[in-house]
Amino acid sequence: MNNSIFFFFYNLAHKSEFFDKFVIFIADIFPYIVIIFAFVFLFFYRKNFKEIILVFFSGFLAWFVAYVLKFLFHTERPFSIFTNVNPLFSETSYAFPSGHATFFIALAMALFFNHKKIGYVFIIFSLLIGVARIIAGVHFPVDILGGLVLGFTIAFFLKNV
């Protein structure tokens, strides 16, 4: 089932140069914009230094745990397993769990726990980034799902710190 879902999304790639560039933007460049957007929202709208630290600590702790788990699981990326998968950009580390999905859902949930409306926006951003990384051929759906669960869990446990 993981492979079927992967190929459903991956088969959207390599059909249009514009769409491929859009996917690369969402999967590889947009995450930096999301981080800036989160910082700007927290710094200018909320002006609460403790909240800024908590939101970004949730994201970075989640990313760090994902990074450690990658070396425990040693999960290969789709382009390493399937010779017919040509990724839209290169990645070199192990795949599971997705560090991007983990970081961005932790960031989104930390925001959501304090600001529901903006939290929904960031949840959508994190899901878009995850799906784009599947379409780009650098993650399986289970890598993204694992990252989403891990990031949510870490943000949930840190919400009352």
**Domain boundary assignment for the chain:** 2-158
pTM: 0.88
Q: Is pLDDT above 80 for 160? A: no
Residues near 28 by beta carbon (within 8 Å), at least 6 away in sequence:
89, 136
> Per mean pLDDT, which range of 33-42, 43-52, 117-126, 135-144 is the poorest?
43-52
Domain 2-158 is of which CATH architecture?
A: Orthogonal Bundle (1.10)
pLDDT on residue 86: 81
Main-chain phi, psi angles of 11, to 5 degrees: -65, -5
Q: Provide mean pLDDT across the span 111-126.
A: 92
Q: Is pLDDT above 90 for 89? A: no
Q: Is pLDDT above 70 for 161? A: no
Q: Is pLDDT above 70 for 46? A: no
- When the pLDDT of each residue in the chain is averaged and rounded to a whole number, the result is 89
Tell which residue, 151, 30, 56, 158, has the closest CA to residue 98.
Answer: 151
